[in-house]
Amino acid sequence: MLRVAVIGCGPIGNRHADIYVMDERSELVGVCDILPERADAAAARLGVPAFYDAQEMLDALAPDLVSVATGGVEYGSDHYEPTMQALNAGCHVLCEKPICNEIAPAEEMVALAREKGLCLGVDLNHRFTPAARLAKRWVEEGRIGHQLFVNMAMWIGNPQESSPWFMIKALNPHTVDVMRYFAGDIEAVHVFATKAPGRRIWSTMQMNARFVSGAVGNLTASYDIERGHPMERCEVAGVAGRFVLEDMWREATLYPAGDPQKIVYTNPVFGGYRDFVDTFIDRIHTFTRQVSEGVPACRPSRSTARARTASPRRRCWRRPSSRSRPRPSPTCAERLPTSYCRCVR
């Protein structure tokens, strides 16, 4: 039985806590929030002690596993400190997305987990569904064949304003994770972004990508479309077939090349996913199972290991001047002065 604690008692932290309570592999032993009223409310509801300082909770309870569900700038700036504290205390950590809103602290988090031999997971829950696992099996069985392209889209109404890059950093860990789940690592991207009427942030974007495999991809994401309609779609195509995954768990359709008959998985009425919360349940149960079964701890992927032995990568972040049209870089098409571009080669 894993002794589990939750740091951050907002809506998502409370959801994590509820799921640990019903997980047969875990025992919730404490909750923590820097806002005493939130910690006290969660503790009273769940019947566990409340703490207002993460280090004090770690010292007092010595949990085996910690969920970090804090927020901060771009939903990620407050993940670094409690994650590092938990790892230094010898805890496995499941961190909310994004792992951090800055690359350097995120790399430190991963490096410390690797040094300590601990599991550090991120709650990228959108692919923890039966439909996504079936689509992954189609890829592994060769039903897609050599991959050609990935089209990904996600939109969700969110009127909040933060940094100019809030939507890009806060929403799209999910979309990029789904793309990489099916198509592998991405080696180059460029982004065009726009602001909806009345918005101060880049609230809608389109990203073009090139995968290490040579496949190409496109991602469209927006905080400007109201909820209530389908919100997510992934299409992966290759020389042997194509599949479309609708709304994470709702439906997956395989279109075999040269065959007029398609294969369709539809989420069943009885025994299927009820709503979005089930993706959290699946993701957290998967993490507690992996930790309980001794899955090897944090280690670099083969693609990461290859990158470390290859020539240095060039990274360029450009925001074009409003006074001049930029010259295209080798990995980017020419873009409008209002666009934002990231190239990685």
DSSP for 160-179, written as a single string: ---STTHHHHHHHHHHHHHH
Is 215 a residue whose pLDDT tops 90? yes
Is 116 a residue whose pLDDT tops 60? yes
Average pLDDT over residues 31-53: 98
Encoding tokens for residue 258? Answer: 């040269």
Provide the CA 209 distance to its chain's centre, in angstroms.
17
Is 311 a residue whose pLDDT tops 50? no
Candidate from 40-44, 183-187, 202-206, 299-303 with smallest mean pLDDT: 299-303
Per the DSSP assignment, residues forming a β-bridge with 235 are 151, 244
CB 191 within 8 A of CB 259: no
What is the CB-side half-sphere exposure of residue 253 using CA atoms within 13 A? 11
The Cα 117–Cα 101 span in angstroms is: 24
Beta strand 241-246 with 251-256 is antiparallel
Element (H, E) at 245: strand 241-246
CB 63 within 8 A of CB 5: yes
Helix ranges, the chain (H): 11-22, 36-46, 54-61, 80-88, 103-116, 130-140, 166-183, 277-292, 302-309
What is the CB-side half-sphere exposure of residue 28 using CA atoms within 13 A? 26
The domain spans of the chain are 2-125, 130-272
| pLDDT confidence band for 201 (50 / 70 / 90) | very high
DSSP letter, residue 199: -
CB 107 within 8 A of CB 210: no
Helix (H, G, I), strand (E, B) or coil at 200: coil
pLDDT at residue number 228: 77
DSSP letter, residue 75: G
| pLDDT confidence band for 230 (50 / 70 / 90) | confident
The count of other CB atoms within 10 Å of the CB of residue 97 is 21
Helix (H, G, I), strand (E, B) or coil at 73: helix
The Cα 97–Cα 80 span in angstroms is: 11
Element (H, E) at 48: none
Is 141 a residue whose pLDDT tops 80? yes
The third-level CATH classification (topology) of the domain covering 2-125 is Rossmann fold (3.40.50)
pLDDT at residue number 299: 58
DSSP line for 113-158 = HHHHT--EEE--GGG-SHHHHHHHHHHHTTSS-SEEEEEEEEE---
In the chain, what percentage of residues exceed pLDDT 70? 86
Is 253 a residue whose pLDDT tops 90? yes
| pLDDT confidence band for 296 (50 / 70 / 90) | confident
**Under the phi-then-psi rule, with left for phi > 0, alpha for psi from -120 to 50, and beta for the rest, what region is 130?**
alpha
**């074009």: which residue's tokens?**
320
Per the DSSP assignment, residues forming a β-bridge with 246 are 233, 251
Residue-averaged pLDDT of the chain? 88
Average pLDDT over residues 2-12: 98
Provide the CA 259 distance to its chain's centre, in angstroms.
34
Between 317 and 133, residue with greater pLDDT:
133
Domain 130-272 top-level CATH class: alpha beta
Provide the CA 176 distance to its chain's centre, in angstroms.
7
Cis amide bond preceding 98, omega within 30: yes
Contacts of 286 (CB under 8 A, 6+ apart): 128
| pLDDT confidence band for 297 (50 / 70 / 90) | confident
Residues in the chain: 345
Q: pTM for this one? A: 0.85
Average pLDDT over residues 39-45: 98
Average pLDDT over residues 263-281: 96
pLDDT at residue number 325: 34
Phi, psi of 79 (to 5 degrees): -85, -30
